[in-house]
Structures are given as structure tokens and as C-alpha cells.
């Protein structure tokens, strides 16, 4: 038996399906999107007994085969399309021992599709704690299946599950109950009209709004011998079907499951009263957020500084070791800094997903979503939008990736489009240096003016996100179901393996997804800054040496002046000169123009670009500040960085979409260049307009 078999993992949300997937596949897994849509596709390889390999597909969580979201459509479309390369040889339905009644609804529906199906009852380690006992032989007989009782937390029952998957051909494909009894005449006519089709598949085609390949709803309606029903009648039949299934499940569990309530211990209700309280809930959430982001900044600063210095040293070593020339410069000044620009984000992204994963695994994130929904909904967002908006204060890239669990496409799209307004850590270097230059030192009520300005910029960013969401909700004519369902799972200690795999998977997704874009942009910027047309660039060394011949300056300073002159006459320098008429009304000169252009690759490039332009060879912030403070406005005289131009620059960076990697992620998540391009144009135009008004009013 050498053939690789397809195994579909199916189940309600919060049944531990991901834990089962991780237990089966370990590190042999990959994540992508289903073709043509942005729903996440997780798949992996599992080695089974007798040398058999299983291709495991972790399907999105679904409550039933009555689809209500993009995720659930994916499940139904796969289960009904035998021609799909991922069509399962065996379906593994994962249920939770505490919610068996609800989980079995989906199981009975899948059994009606006559796919070999295994029932996994997860979290078996909680049975004693909850006073639950199960009669497994009786349940197997009634449900026409084999049952694997497992605990992923204690790694129990996984080998039994692998054995059942290996022997899937021995499983019964007989349905648990006869669902067609809800309207015998209707289903008899359906069977007669389509004698070669599976009855329950036909029923799903008639009642669901999804794609099923060859079997189409219009074909069914077109058959003369078959009289279709109205939508209202079909809805009533669906309800009847659900009631019939639950009657069967209740009868089965009366004998198959015993719950001794006297031994069940449950603190969940007490915790929920506090964590979802209309006052204490928000206060606790605020404290948790402050703690998380403080930890992210504190913990990530050490590895980020190490990565920064490591790549700088590597670049310097490359320059000194390899023979001089364009190829060496490309590696030392383009590729290595480009790679550094990718890797330096890893600590923040890893720590952010570490905390998000812990909150999700523990069951707390569902409480946050429930808590925030009442506020977010009035702005056209979902309660689930709060996670990306909060994550965006560290980095917009993982924040946008975190929108995938928002069911409504409209709410998800709005969240993706507005998240970049929240102040990310890449803006901090720009904010800190400009605030230090233009905001005077002083205090009010013990708080410094500079700290208050920084806090205000964060609030402005969040306000812009929420305000633009409100506008987008009014103008986007996207038909999308906007209902809010969130399950409150039991509180539990996070599984280290699940958390570690989540962090690894999300970080890897960033490095190989957005990383390619960052590297490409870095190489382009290096080329534009390293080459230029005409004699001014080619003869820069002779020109600058002649200019400073009488001043007897140190060789190191001379080299810095040559580098600055070359940059000014490089392609990127010429670009800065070309856009100067456009940016001068904002209070900027061509040097700031170059920094703005180069920072479209990544905002934090702004300070480094200005450091080079102002002939500063080191990264000492004070030196950069002194040189920037000494810059004179060539037209108006006085300092270039004054209160008016400084506020203009801060507001420009607060609103502009200056992050190519974020645009790349938006493209990936929306499967279109339309939305990132609109995002780039609208946000940058708005930033320009606000900066223009601010400068003209304050100058």
C-alpha cells in the first residue's frame, strides 16, 4: 500500500483541530491560500503504520454544512467535488468531549455524503474533571463509525488514530440516519430525477450558495420532472433536517454519554463575569495590552540591536574582504542590508504572535472579541477587527495577516485597508528624532510635552483608522453577511507545541512572503543611490576634493562629503530634486524628499537616509540631530526643521502608506493589486493634504 492518502481534518471551531493537526504532522506542514481566495490552507504529511503516507488537510472550522462564511464554503466545496486533487479518502471529524452534542451535527451530515469518516473525541483528559463517561462501543455502533478517544495535551490516543486512518477502507460509509424522511415525496422525486447522483449532495447543491463543479443548481431547476421549492420552503426543510439530526444525537447520547454534574468543577462562569464586564473587562484588557507591548519592545530590542550590528559588521567585512567593484558593492550595500531589513523584524513578529497565540490558546481572545464588538460595529468593523488594529502598533504586516478569521469579507477588507493607519514601531525612529528637534522640553501635570506629542500621534493614528473605517463602510457597496458569532471556549493552559508552531509558521510566512519584496526594493534603492548620470556623479571625488582643498579636513570627513555629493547627484538624488517643487509647500527641501522617497521601502529608512545625506558616517543620534538642527531653509532662512515643518512631517508620516512590504501583504490577502494601489494613493494623498494644511497654518 504505497499510495498517499488524502485525509481531511474537519470540525467545529475550538475543538482542538489544530492540536490534532500538529500532533499528526509536527513540522511537516505548510501554509498557503486556497486557489483564488484568501482563506488559509494548512496541509502536512503524516507517516502512518506499514509505510503509508497521509496528506493531511486542516480545513477551516465549521459548525455545519449549511455554509455561512468563506471558510465554510471551502469545506463544502471540497467534500462535494470528487475531482478535486485534495478530495479526502477519509474524513476525520474532530469533536470536543464537553460539546459532543453540538459537534455531532456536522459529523452526521458528513456521514450522509458516504465518505469514510472517523470520529475523534478530543480533550479526553478532562473527562474525569468534568464528570463525563462514554460508552464507546455503543457510540460506534449507533454512529456507524470508529472512534478515537484522544488527548493532544497528554499525547494520548494519537497512535490509535493513525491506525484507524491507515485502515480507513474498513470503515462503514452508511449514513447514521435517514434525513430524507423530513419530506419523503420531495426526496423521492429528487432521487428519480437524478438517479446517478448522491441524494444528500443534491440537497446541499439546492440549498447552498457555493460552487460544486459539474452539479449545478440551474441544471436541477431545468429538469422537467422535478419541481423545485421556494427559498422559504427550503429554509423550513433545512430547519426540519437540523431538528431531526439533533433528535437522533440526543437519543444516541442518552445511552452513550453520562455526565455526573456533582463532580464537574467549573470556574468559567466566574471568570467570564469579570473578563467580559462592561467596566472591568476593558480595564483588564487595557492592562494586558500595555504589558504585552511593553514586553514586545523590551524583549525585542536586544535581538534587534544584535541583528542590526551583525548585518552592519557583515556588510563591512564583505567590503573589506572581497575585491573592490560593483558586485561587491551590490552585496555589501544592497543585498546584505536588504536581508537585514527582513531579519530585523523577526523578533517583533515572533513575540507578537507568541502573545496572540497564548491569548487564543487560553480562550481569552474570544472574550476580547465579544467585548469589543459593541464598540467596533458602529464603525463598520467586527469585534474581531480589534486584534489586527492592536497588532498594528507593533507591525502592520502580521496585523493584516491576523484579519483572516473575520467572516464578513466587507468587514475584513475594511480592517485590512485601515490597519496601516495605526502607529507601528517603524514610525518611532522618525517620530522620536523630529519630536526632539521641534517640540520644546517642558512638562504639564508631570508629563513632558514630547511624551504627550508621541501619545497624541498614536491616538491620531487609531482615530484615523476608525474614522476611515466608518467612511469605507458607507461607500463600499459590497454585499456581505454581517452577523457576529463568537464561541466562548473553555479556559485552558496553552500547549507549548501549538504556540511554538504558530510562531514559527507566521514568522516564516513573513520572511518568505514580504521578505522577497523588501529585498528587491533594497537592491533597487541601492542601484538608484549608487549610480548617476553625467560628470557630476562620475567625477564627484575630484570635484569635492578640489572644493575642500584649502580647508585641510581629515580624510574621513572628506570621504563623507564625497559620499554626500555622490548621493545628491545619483538617480535618487535627482529624483529628490525633481520632486522638490511638490514637497516645498510642505516645508521640505530635496534632502527630506530623498528620505521620503527611500522610506517608501520602509519608514525607518528615513533617519538613515538623512544621516548619509548630512554626511554623518556613524549612527549617533545626537550628531544627526545637531546636523539636522543646523540645516537652514534655503528660501525663508532660519532652521529648516522648525515647529511648522516638524509638525507637517510628523503628520505626513502618521498618515502616509510608506511600507512596500505592507502593500505586498495587502495584495496577498486581497488577491488583487487594486486595493493596495488604492490604499497607497488615498493614504499618501491624504497625508500630503494634512501636512500641507498644517505647514501653511503654522509657518
Alpha carbon of residue 94 to chain centroid: 25
Find which of 197-206, 303-312, 620-629 is predicted with most confidence, using mean pLDDT.
197-206
Q: Tens of pLDDT along 68-82?
A: 666 677 888 888 888
Sequence-distant (6+) residues with CB within 8 A of 259 are 130, 131, 132
- 632/638 Cα distance (integer angstroms): 5
Q: What is the pLDDT of residue 244?
A: 92
Confidence (pLDDT) at 224: 42
- pLDDT of res. 154: 85
CA dihedral over 592, 598, 604, 610, signed as positive or negative? negative
563 versus 463: which is more confidently predicted?
463
pLDDT of residue 93: 95
- pTM summary value: 0.62
Most confident of 250-259, 350-359, 630-639: 250-259
Cβ atoms 123, 16 nearer than 8 A: yes
Q: To the nearest whole percent, how much of the chain has pLDDT over 90?
A: 21
Is residue 153 over pLDDT 90?
Answer: no
pLDDT at 210 over 60: no
The answer on pLDDT for 38 being more than 50 is: no
CA-closest candidate to residue 113, choices 10, 25, 35, 41: 10
pLDDT recorded at residue 37: 47
Q: How far is CA 563 from CA 272, 536, 546, 611, 644, in A?
A: 62, 12, 15, 11, 30
Strand 90-96, strand 117-122: pairing: parallel
Give the ranges where 57-198 is alpha helix by DSSP (H). Answer: 70-80, 100-111, 127-130, 136-143, 158-166, 184-193
364-376 vs 280-321: helix crossing angle, rounded to 10: 110
Q: What is the largest CA-CA distance in the chain?
A: 105
Which of the two residues, 7 and 511, has the higher pLDDT score?
7
Q: Which three cell numbers stand for residue 173?
A: 460509509
> Which pLDDT tens digit goes with each residue over 264-274?
456 677 788 88
Superfamily of domain 1-261: P-loop containing nucleotide triphosphate hydrolases (3.40.50.300)
Residue 318 confidence (pLDDT): 85
Q: Which grid coordinates belong to 201?
A: 449532495
pLDDT band at 181 (very low <50, low <70, confident <90, very high): confident
Q: What is the mean pLDDT of residues 677-695?
A: 94
Output the pLDDT for position 220. 54
* Average pLDDT of the residues of the chain: 80
Burial class (CB in 10 A: 0-12, 13-18, 19+), 458: middle
For the ranges 199-213, 232-246, 352-366, which has the lowest average pLDDT?
A: 199-213
Confidence check: pLDDT of 12 > 60: yes
Cα–Cα distance measured from residue 310 to residue 326, given in angstroms and rounded to the nearest whole number: 22
Q: Tell me what pLDDT residue 487 has.
A: 60
> 125: left (phi > 0), else alpha (psi -120 to 50), else beta?
alpha
Per-range mean pLDDT, top range of 3-12, 223-232, 658-667: 3-12
pLDDT tens-digit series, residues 391-419: 777 678 778 877 876 767 888 899 999 99
Tell me how far apart the alpha carbons of residues 595 and 456 are, in angstroms, rounded to a whole number.
24
pLDDT band with cut points at 50, 70 and 90 for residue 617? very low
Closest CA to 384 of 347, 362, 356: 356
Q: Is 486 within 8 Å of 383 (Cβ atoms)? A: yes
State residue 603's pLDDT score: 76
HSE-CB at 620 with a 13 A cutoff on CA atoms is 8
In this predicted structure, what is the pLDDT of residue 540?
A: 82
- Number of other CB atoms surrounding residue 141 within 10 Å: 12
Whether residue 483 is predicted with pLDDT greater than 70 in this model: the reply is: no
Name residues whose C-beta falls within 8 Å of residue 617's C-beta, 6 or more positions apart in sequence.
556, 559, 560
Report d(CA 26, CA 46) in Å as an integer: 8
- Show me where the domains of the chain are located: 1-261
Amino acid at each position: 500500500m504505497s499510495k498517499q492518502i488524502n485525509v481531511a481534518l474537519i470540525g467545529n471551531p475550538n475543538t482542538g483541530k489544530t492540536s490534532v493537526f500538529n500532533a499528526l504532522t509536527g513540522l511537516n506542514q505548510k501554509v498557503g491560500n486556497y486557489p483564488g481566495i484568501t482563506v488559509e490552507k494548512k496541509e502536512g504529511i503524516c507517516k502512518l503504520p506499514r509505510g503509508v503516507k497521509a496528506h493531511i488537510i486542516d480545513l477551516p472550522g465549521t459548525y455545519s454544512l449549511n455554509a455561512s462564511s468563506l471558510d465554510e464554503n471551502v469545506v463544502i466545496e471540497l467534500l462535494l467535488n470528487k475531482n478535486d486533487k485534495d478530495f479526502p479518502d477519509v474524513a476525520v471529524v474532530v469533536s470536543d468531549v464537553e460539546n459532543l452534542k453540538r459537534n455531532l451535527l456536522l459529523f452526521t451530515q458528513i456521514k450522509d455524503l458516504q465518505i469514510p469518516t472517523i470520529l475523534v473525541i478530543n480533550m479526553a483528559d478532562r473527562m474525569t474533571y468534568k464528570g463525563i463517561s462514554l460508552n464507546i462501543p455503543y457510540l460506534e455502533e449507533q454512529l456507524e463509525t470508529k472512534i478515537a478517544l484522544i488527548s493532544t495535551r497528554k499525547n494520548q490516543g494519537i497512535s490509535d488514530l493513525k491506525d484507524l486512518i491507515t485502515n480507513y477502507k474498513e470503515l462503514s460509509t452508511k449514513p447514521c440516519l435517514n434525513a430524507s424522511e423530513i419530506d419523503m415525496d420531495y426526496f423521492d422525486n429528487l432521487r428519480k430525477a437524478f438517479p446517478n447522483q448522491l441524494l444528500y449532495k443534491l440537497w446541499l447543491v439546492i440549498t447552498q450558495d457555493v460552487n460544486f463543479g459539474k452539479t449545478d443548481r440551474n441544471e436541477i431547476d431545468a429538469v422537467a420532472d422535478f419541481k423545485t421549492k421556494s427559498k422559504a420552503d427550503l429554509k423550513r426543510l433545512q430547519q426540519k433536517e437540523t431538528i431531526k439530526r439533533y433528535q437522533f444525537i440526543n437519543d444516541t447520547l442518552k445511552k452513550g454519554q453520562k455526565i455526573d454534574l456533582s463532580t464537574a468543577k467549573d470556574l468559567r462562569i466566574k471568570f467570564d463575569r469579570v473578563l467580559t464586564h462592561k467596566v472591568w473587562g476593558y480595564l483588564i484588557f487595557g492592562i494586558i495590552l500595555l504589558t504585552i507591548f511593553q514586553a514586545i519592545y523590551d524583549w525585542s530590542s536586544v535581538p534587534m540591536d544584535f541583528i542590526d550590528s551583525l548585518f552592519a559588521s557583515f556588510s563591512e567585512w564583505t567590503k573589506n574582504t572581497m575585491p573592490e567593484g560593483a558586485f561587491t558593492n551590490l552585496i555589501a550595500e544592497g543585498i546584505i542590508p536588504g536581508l537585514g531589513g527582513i531579519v530585523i523584524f523577526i523578533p517583533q513578529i515572533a513575540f507578537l504572535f507568541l502573545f496572540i497565540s497564548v491569548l487564543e490558546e487560553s480562550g481569552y481572545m474570544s472574550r476580547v472579541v465579544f467585548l469589543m464588538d459593541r464598540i467596533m460595529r458602529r464603525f463598520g468593523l467586527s469585534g474581531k477587527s480589534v486584534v489586527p488594529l492592536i497588532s498594528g502598533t507593533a507591525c502592520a504586516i502580521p496585523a493584516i495577516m491576523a484579519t483572516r478569521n473575520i467572516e464578513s469579507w466587507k468587514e475584513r477588507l475594511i480592517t485590512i485597508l485601515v490597519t496601516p493607519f495605526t502607529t507601528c514601531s517603524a514610525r518611532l525612529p522618525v517620530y522620536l528624532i523630529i519630536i526632539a528637534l521641534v517640540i520644546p522640553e517642558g512638562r504639564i501635570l508631570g508629563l513632558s510635552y514630547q511624551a504627550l506629542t508621541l501619545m497624541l500621534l498614536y491616538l491620531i493614528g487609531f482615530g484615523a483608522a476608525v474614522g476611515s473605517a466608518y467612511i469605507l463602510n458607507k461607500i463600499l457597496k459590497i454585499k456581505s453577511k454581517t452577523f457576529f458569532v463568537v464561541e466562548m471556549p473553555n479556559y485552558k493552559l496553552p500547549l507549548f507545541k501549538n504556540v511554538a508552531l504558530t510562531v514559527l509558521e507566521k514568522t516564516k510566512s513573513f520572511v518568505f512572503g514580504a521578505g522577497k519584496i523588501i529585498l528587491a526594493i533594497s537592491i533597487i534603492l541601492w542601484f538608484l543611490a549608487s549610480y548617476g548620470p553625467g560628470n557630476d556623479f562620475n567625477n564627484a571625488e575630484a570635484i569635492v576634493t578640489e572644493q575642500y582643498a584649502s580647508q585641510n579636513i581629515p580624510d574621513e570627513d572628506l570621504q563623507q562629503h564625497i559620499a554626500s555629493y555622490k548621493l545628491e547627484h545619483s538617480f535618487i538624488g535627482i529624483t529628490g530634486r525633481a520632486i522638490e517643487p511638490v514637497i516645498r509647500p510642505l516645508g521640505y527641501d530635496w534632502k527630506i524628499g530623498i528620505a521620503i522617497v527611500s522610506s517608501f521601502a520602509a519608514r525607518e529608512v528615513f533617519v538613515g537616509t538623512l544621516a548619509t545625506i548630512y554626511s554623518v558616517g556613524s549612527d549617533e543620534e545626537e550628531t544627526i540631530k545637531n546636523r539636522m538642527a543646523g540645516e537652514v531653509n534655503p528660501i525663508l532662512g532660519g532652521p529648516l526643521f522648525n515647529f511648522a515643518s516638524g509638525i507637517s512631517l510628523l503628520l505626513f508620516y502618521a498618515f502616509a502608506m510608506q511600507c512596500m512590504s505592507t502593500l505586498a501583504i495587502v495584495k496577498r490577502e486581497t488577491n488583487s493589486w487594486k486595493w493596495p494601489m488604492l490604499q497607497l494613493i488615498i493614504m499618501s494623498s491624504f497625508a500630503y493634504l494634512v501636512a500641507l494644511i498644517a505647514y501653511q497654518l503654522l509657518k
